[in-house]
Amino acid sequence: MPADTGSQQLPARPDANETKSGVYPAQKPDWANLSVLHRNTLPPRSSFVLYNTRDDALSRDPKKAKAQCLSGNRWQFHLANSPFEAPAGFEKPAFDSGKWSKIEVPGMWQMQGFGRGPHYTNVQYPFNVDPPHPPYTDNECGSYLTRFRVLDDLQDDQLRLRFEGVDSAFHVWVNGREVGYSQGSRNPSEFDITEHVTRGEANVLAVRVYQFCDGSYIEDQDQWWLSGIFRDVFLLGFPKKVCFENVTIRTLLDEEYRNATLEVSVQTSAKATVRLQLLDTNGKLLSDAEAAVQDGGKLTANFTMHVENATLWTAETPYLYKTILSIGDDQFIAHRVGFRKVELKDGLIKVNGKRVVFKGANRHEHHPESGRTVPYEFLKNDLLLMKQHNINALRTCHQPNDPRLYDLADELGLWVMDEADLECHGFEIIEVAALPAEQRKLPFAERQRITRADAAKWLSDNPDWHDAYLDRAKQLVHRDKNHTSVIMWSLGNEAFYGRNHTAMRDWIKSEDPTRLIHYEPDQEAEYMDMYSRMYPDIADIISLAEKDCKQNKKPLVLCEYIHAMGTGPGNIKEYIDAFYKYPQLQGGWVWEWSNHGLVTKTKDGTPFYGYGGDFGDVPNDSNFVMDGVLQSDHTPNSGLIEYKKALEPVQIVSASAKLATIINRQDFATLDHLVCIWSVVSEQGPVPDVGGELKMPPGIQPGETAELPLPHVNEELNGEALMLLSFRLRSDTLWADAGYELAWAQVPLARNPNLGIPAAEGNGPVVATLSGSILEIQSHTSQWSVDIARDNDAPDRSFGKDWRDSLLHLAETKTRGVKWHMEDSGSLIVQMEQKFAPPVLSWSIDLASEYTFATNGSLSIKVKGTPTGLNLPKTLPRIGVTLGLPKSYQKVEWFGRGPGESYKDMKLSQKVGRHAVQSVGALWSGPEFPQECSNRTDTRWIRIAERTRGKTSLTAQFFVPSEPGTRRLFDFMVSHFDVKDIDEARHPYELEQKGQDATILRLDADHLGLGTGSCGPKTLDQYVLNTAPFEFGILLY
């Protein structure tokens, strides 16, 4: 029989607690019955609430709506290990629940201390795979009870009970009478409970929620498995005589994209006269019409309104008109609508006739304390952060988000790819495991091509699952179809491709021809409106754009790219540059928006953000859930700062001391909303009394360049100096205040290639004393200690398969020879021959180091490295030295990129300037999974001083050994952790426990770039530190 996908009435359901054995049901329960998707639910509809007056509707105030929120409080709660252990008869009003616990609704029960706790998997299912059968005995079951009285305003109405989201399936009763059943965790469910409710008295609402159901097989998204009533629950009032049932709003534009047409189709419960009013954003009435509902199979009224010279909606200019629908004088609906046209034209995705570049982010619903129950202000802050960081697009990975998000996207201006609640990635693991051994060794892309077709046979290409898939499409489209920000639908994620996707696509195209459809597993874009890829190499997307995209007249988007797990991502700019160079490349969505750590505590009460395995969850995918450009508390990390820089709306194309050429990187708007403020920074810090507003040419169109004359700086500049051009908002917006910086650039004014030399010479020679392997050097102004048996003038221990295979992590430096002599000047020269090598293998890096201890207290170090032997690692993590200083050395000052962390392929967001911190801890970026981090690159000099005695300090610069007076750029990192500490720690609190009683200063001549290799391409060639001979010099004083 076909699955129940709407209001169809099914025969009475067998009692879910009725069993033959006490464990297994006598009949298949709804939550394990593929032919029952919903029982007694109302058909899916657009998202709206009714108001009693026109003014109330225009206010959009939910407190004035004909709606009663039943959530936002504590309900009674009981959790059983399986549905068959749940309390029988709990739905009856006389049931004694006095000893039950209390639980917050909305909420996830695992986040409130119930059950086995959160469980994280990326791909693999957390239960035995036997579709469509979910677990019977290992399937937690939550029973909820609450009481409510119907508000006076709803007493005469038809009453509908609406659940915005329940994970994963549930039955509902009112006053002991069964109302229905539904599944589809992130989709709404609505029931008519008019006949079950008693007016004027307390009513008992009972809900039984199942952790897993057959639908869980298509909810295998990369996120935490959490359960419960996690979105709001409403009692909605609809007039009994006649009411709105569904509304569909479409906007059309003429060929010049100037004049607009508004089409509105309304479904009602009975014949009536419907009125439609169209207002501009300020409330001015533009059009007013009435239409009689016609009975043509559906009770429908249709409207068409025309607007000349319409103000169009874009993500850059989100202008919203207002519509008011009404029946009589006591039933009103208000919608905001933007006029825009989305089309596939000239082989490109165009909005209002113009090509769009999607500068996007993948956003899972996440809160560190409540899981997928996300408070409104927290949600809103996410979208504000996106706008503040130049992000213009949002993918609702991998399910429809909280309905309130779409209102915000309409208002703030974000392109939304709205994604169906559908993923079954776990079947790929099964198919990979079934491959012959030789095929399992194939490169990932080749192996995936083999396994995807077989994996699709389980569900996606299985006709038994047709209705379940189609239901996800219908729920998605009907709920969100009236949101202007939604410009494309996505059929889900990593569910391979099969006939059921084709059915989804066909239904959506028939229901909504005004939007485009996306689905990445359709690799050849045979059915979709675009090509889509995840984590591709830049060269590959350029090739695809130049060949397949042009030939088939379809563009390419990257639904996931620049994987942000760990420190990084690197080489963002290269992707963005390709988007602008090749028209068929239309942008992408960074993976992903935030880390998904959940707050937990150690045994002694120390809080930390947990990931897979921290909650006893087996199997798990460990820290793969910590892969965002935000930390788990949704504060930005360095990846988001770098992403913002790459996405700037205005960029410098070229510049000299007198003239800069700028380009408008927006798609629709000019740069008139920005002001340019200039200032100057030098090695001494910001130059005072210099700078001001720089007049920008008006009306710079998208994609156009313009010349920006730069002011002459008369002040005498000591050392290196740069002019900063800061592009800021001219006026307040909904997402940032006037003066907020959206873009910036620096123009060199003066360079300083000279190495800084201590001014004063000492009054006597350097004295050397050897004690064991420690060489003590004493001058008039300083004292040095060098371990001549072992040193760190070598690549650091680090990670990566190649490095592990080469045993780089086990390599040590051994001294082969030491000699020293005094110069006539009184300086001491120490020369060391060393070998850096691992056990077992036969490769090494031969090191020749020369230390010059001058009478003025300075130390000059020259290092030359020569890799030799077999099995050399192809790359090195770093080349440099590590110095151990007393922990009292805390104050750090440097001239270079900052203030945040930077690497050679993640540095453009950090300004060159003079930066300072008062403690070493302020330099630690604090990754939630300890790892390489907190580096600063393009450094000219660094000075580190004792906190209490600021005059006691150490300054470091790098130089070119062949040109001793010429300084070169270098990297540094200061912390209280050595590499072994970081390597062994899984959480920040463990790292703190391991911290050294010293300040560790790492000085690097070169460093490997970050790339995005945690899930994607390796570091680009230009940022790789290849194993090759090297040479560098360091001056310390």
Active site (catalytic) residues: 494, 560
The torsion defined by the Cα of 735, 739, 742 and 743, in degrees rounded to 10, comes to 180
Strand stretches in 397-445, DSSP E: 415-419
Write out the DSSP string of 915-964.
Answer: EEESSGGGG----SS--S---EEEESEEEEEESS-TTSEEEEEEEETTEE
Write out the DSSP string of 677-721.
Answer: EEEEEETTEEPTT--EEEPPPTTPPTT-EEEEEPPP--S---S-E
Report d(CA 963, CA 354) in Å as an integer.
54
Asked if 234 and 67 count as a contact pair (C-beta separation under 8 A), the reply is: yes
Residue 541, H or E segment: helix 538-544
Asked if 570 and 903 count as a contact pair (C-beta separation under 8 A), the reply is: yes
Report d(CA 350, CA 559) in Å as an integer.
17
Instruction: Give 236-268 as a 3 state SS string.
Output: EEECCCCCEEEEEEEEEECCCCCCEEEEEEEEE
Report d(CA 745, CA 903) in Å as an integer.
18
Asked if 820 and 831 count as a contact pair (C-beta separation under 8 A), the reply is: yes
What is the token pair recorded at 487?
A: 């410009």
Report d(CA 838, CA 336) in Å as an integer.
67
Q: Which residues contact 791 (CB under 8 A, 6 or more apart)?
A: 813, 815, 832, 834, 849, 881
Burial code (b: 16+ CB inside 10 Å, e: under 16) for 198-215 equals eeeeebbbbbbbbbbbbb
Report d(CA 436, CA 601) in Å as an integer.
44
Question: 598 has which bridge partners?
Answer: 610
Of 878, 895, 986, 234, which is closest to residue 602 (Cα–Cα)? 986
Report d(CA 180, CA 191) in Å as an integer.
7
Asked if 647 and 611 count as a contact pair (C-beta separation under 8 A), the reply is: no
734 Ramachandran zone, left/alpha/beta (phi>0; psi -120 to 50): alpha
Asked if 404 and 426 count as a contact pair (C-beta separation under 8 A), the reply is: no
What is the token pair recorded at 317?
A: 């200019």
Residue 481, H or E segment: none
Asked if 499 and 525 count as a contact pair (C-beta separation under 8 A), the reply is: no
The alpha carbon of 74 is separated from its chain's Cα centroid by a whole number of angstroms, namely: 31
